[in-house]
Amino acid sequence: MLNGFVKVAAASPSLRVADVDYNKEHIIKMMNDASSQGVKVIVFPELSLTGYTCGDLFFQKKLIESSRYALLELIEVSKGQDMITIVGYPHIHKGKLYNTAAVIFNGELLALIAKKNIPNYGDVSEARWFASAPDVNVITRVGEVETLMGAKILIEAENVPSFVLAADVCEDLWLPIPESSRHALAGATIICNLSASVEIDGKEEIRKTLVAAQSLKLIAGYIYANASPGESTTDLIFPGTQIIAENGNILRYRTFSDDQMSIAEIDVERISLLRARKNTIEIDDSDYDLITVSFDKVANAELTREISKFPFNSGNENERLERYKKMLTLQAMGLKRRVEHTRSESVVIGLSGGLDSTLALLCCVRAFDMLSRSRKDIIAISMPCFGTTARTKSNAERLANALGVTFMEIDISDSVKSHFKDIGQSLDDFSVTYENGQARERTQVLMDIANMKKGFVVGTGDLSELALGWATFNGDHMSMYGVNSSIPKTLMRFLVGYYGSISEPEVDSILKDILSTPVSPELLPAKDGVISQITEDIVGPYELHDFFLYYMVRYGFSPRKIYRLALLAFGDEYSPEIIKKWLVIFIRRFFSQQFKRNCVPDGPKVGAVSLSARGDWKMPSDAYSSIWIAEAENL
């Protein structure tokens, strides 16, 4: 459970209706198996000790008695297991029968969480047998064991920050205001639902969507365990569905499973940090009873969840393609509105033949197409200087011509030389002044032409550059509207590739060559006509920096946790030493370059992360990075 990861399981054991001993043995087998794998919470289906479809057998003393003996045996088996087990159990209290979730931990019966909403419609007649949970939690007994029973009970782990568990039963999930919503508002970060939900055509997708949506709405982990196919098939079929979700993401999903278990890790630290950002969530546990446990082994659980190398590019292929389409549209819509509002006759963009300016130009084209304006009102300017190569210069011109925009070439070499002469900068001194002088001259050209053409300058810088401060202050750092401001470099590649795939062959061919060109500001002289200044050789791999950026800014993860995730995602490509090296550099640059982000131009937020000081990221320029650096350097 290091870094907040809690290993959990949803189980659908083999079942025989009313054969309590058979059911008990299969539950015990799964308990032992889960415990041996380091699982900390295992959830079984509704009424899993007896079976859900027992009907009037629930009124038989023998069934209820056998269930009680079986539960007591499970409590005994749980001794020494550093794991919370939640199993479905029919319980009689003061002459009423309750459908409960028995919560067991290390030889103790912590609570019986009773089902609140008892369905009695369609093919379900549960109110015939069961009473609704009492409005106020009560003390009850299972044999000689005294415990708490009710619907408002939370289980908190005192040695695992943010671990607060709650449970409800089947129908409690399907209401307009589910019981799990109340649990989350009382502070629960993990919700368990013991279910016996029948399968009919189309319901499985609804069930899956409902669990994912509830976990997203609550910002919570969700463990859903459905009754197995061993239930009676007299009239109904049960699919044995297992779903583990976290904040809208399905971590594990299995259906039509019998005697199987799904395991995943829920990140309660991430849940807690996300909730802390949302000040509209008011936690009130005043009418809940809190039961505290302490795990013996707060271990570094092996993570089985997939850690993507490209967290900004999540989802399956179809989902990603839809996201690319939407993001390109949102970029263009933002620019379209800005053109309309300013009544601009043109937009001006510096086109280098590199990745950033290419995506910005594609955005301009889409915006002007939306406006039904001539693409000739888009003025793309190539400004070659000391480091410009024939490849990038050619690609810039070819792309502008293929897209039908106005293309201009203005060689700034003489202007930069004149400026260097004025300030006493040697042409042989390849210092930061040598580089930034070119970037600032380009910005001056763009601004002045925008004035001449009654337009404005469209910025090309991206989110990754803003995070690292890899931009010349008052040079390429500045524009009138930065369309790429929330697009990281790694996602940019996918967007440009997608645009090419839906374009005519000529445009696609040019974009593919641009994508294969090394990322470079081209501010140092080329060597034998080849780019000599490779950005990633200087600041590090963008795939690593974008990874660090995502988890640090979006979730507030510590360097230690980010490093652990990076090892899982990139361990086959980078050594631990290399990952650590670039993580330290990322943190240093991220803090030291905040002054550039505090005055960035307007730009649309279209992705998950933005660093605009007017929006998502507010930080003083003189904040110290020492505690982050100390942790990263000691990894």
Read off the pLDDT of residues 5-14 as tens digits, 9 standing for 90 and up.
999 999 999 9
6 & 64 share domain: yes
The predicted model gives 509-526 an average pLDDT of 86
At 299, the pLDDT band (50, 70, 90 cuts) reads low
509 & 414 share domain: yes
The residue out of 293, 321, 337 marking a domain boundary is 293
Query: Would you say residue 193 lies in a domain?
Result: yes
Q: 534 versus 490: which is more confidently predicted?
A: 490
Contact predicate 231/53, CB 8 Å: yes
Query: Would you say residue 216 lies in a domain?
Result: yes
CA dihedral 310, 247, 617, 322 (to 10 degrees): 50
Active site residue 454: no
Catalytic residue among 7, 24, 170, 179: 170
At 236, the pLDDT band (50, 70, 90 cuts) reads confident
For residue 2, the model assigns a pLDDT of: 77
DSSP line for 571-588:
TTTS-HHHHHHHHHHHHH
Tell me the CA end-to-end span of the chain in Å, nearest whole number. 18
Of 203, 215, 208, 204, the C-alpha closest to 178 is 215
Catalytic residue among 7, 40, 46, 126: 46
- pLDDT tens digits along 309-348: 999 998 889 999 999 999 999 999 999 999 999 999 999 9
For residue 1, the model assigns a pLDDT of: 65
Contact predicate 46/198, CB 8 Å: no
Catalytic residue among 7, 24, 40, 115: 115
Q: Tell me how crowded residue 403 is: count the other CB atoms within 10 A of its CB.
A: 20
280 & 335 share domain: no
For residue 616, the model assigns a pLDDT of: 87
Share of the chain above pLDDT 90, in %: 85
Active site residue 54: no
Structural domain count, the chain: 2
283 & 413 share domain: no
| CATH at residue 143 | 3.60.110.10
Does the pLDDT at position 114 exceed 80? yes
55 & 158 share domain: yes
| CATH at residue 465 | 3.40.50.620
Does the pLDDT at position 301 exceed 80? no
Of 179, 40, 203, the C-alpha closest to 118 is 179
Angle between helices 317-342 and 355-370 (to 10 degrees): 70
- Per the document, the length of the chain is 635
142 & 255 share domain: yes
The predicted model gives 180-206 an average pLDDT of 91
Query: Would you say residue 369 lies in a domain?
Result: yes
- pLDDT tens digits along 422-471: 999 999 999 999 999 999 999 999 999 999 999 999 999 999 999 999 99
59 & 149 share domain: yes
Residue with tokens 């008052």: 474
Longest dimension (CA), the chain: 101
400 & 287 share domain: no
The residue out of 293, 326, 356 marking a domain boundary is 293
564 & 467 share domain: yes
Q: How far is CA 135 from CA 20, 131, 183, in A?
A: 30, 12, 14
How far apart, in whole angstroms, are the C-alpha atoms of residue 225 and residue 293? 23
334 & 468 share domain: yes
The predicted model gives 475-486 an average pLDDT of 95
Residue 503 is inside which H or E element, if any? none
For residue 408, the model assigns a pLDDT of: 97
At 532, the pLDDT band (50, 70, 90 cuts) reads low
Active site residue 599: no
How far apart, in whole angstroms, are the C-alpha atoms of residue 443 and residue 438? 9
Q: 490 versus 2: which is more confidently predicted?
A: 490
Query: Would you say residue 301 lies in a domain?
Result: no
Query: Would you say residue 302 lies in a domain?
Result: no
Residue 52 is inside which H or E element, if any? none
Contact predicate 18/57, CB 8 Å: yes
The predicted model gives 490-504 an average pLDDT of 96
Contact predicate 629/584, CB 8 Å: yes
Least confident stretch, 109-118, 234-243, 387-396: 234-243
At 122, the pLDDT band (50, 70, 90 cuts) reads confident
249 & 375 share domain: no
Q: 121 versus 153: which is more confidently predicted?
A: 153
The residue out of 260, 293, 326 marking a domain boundary is 293
Domain containing residue 109: 2-293
At 558, the pLDDT band (50, 70, 90 cuts) reads very high
Most confident of 116-125, 129-138, 281-290, 532-541: 129-138
Q: What is the DSSP letter of 79?
A: T
The predicted model gives 249-277 an average pLDDT of 93
Query: Would you say residue 298 lies in a domain?
Result: no
Of 484, 481, 485, the C-alpha closest to 339 is 481
Does the pLDDT at position 287 exceed 70? yes
Query: Would you say residue 612 lies in a domain?
Result: yes
Q: Tell me how crowded residue 278 is: count the other CB atoms within 10 A of its CB.
A: 8
- Judged by DSSP in three states, 471 sits in coil
Does the pLDDT at position 300 exceed 70? no
Mean pLDDT of all residues in the chain?
94
263 & 323 share domain: no
Query: Would you say residue 300 lies in a domain?
Result: no
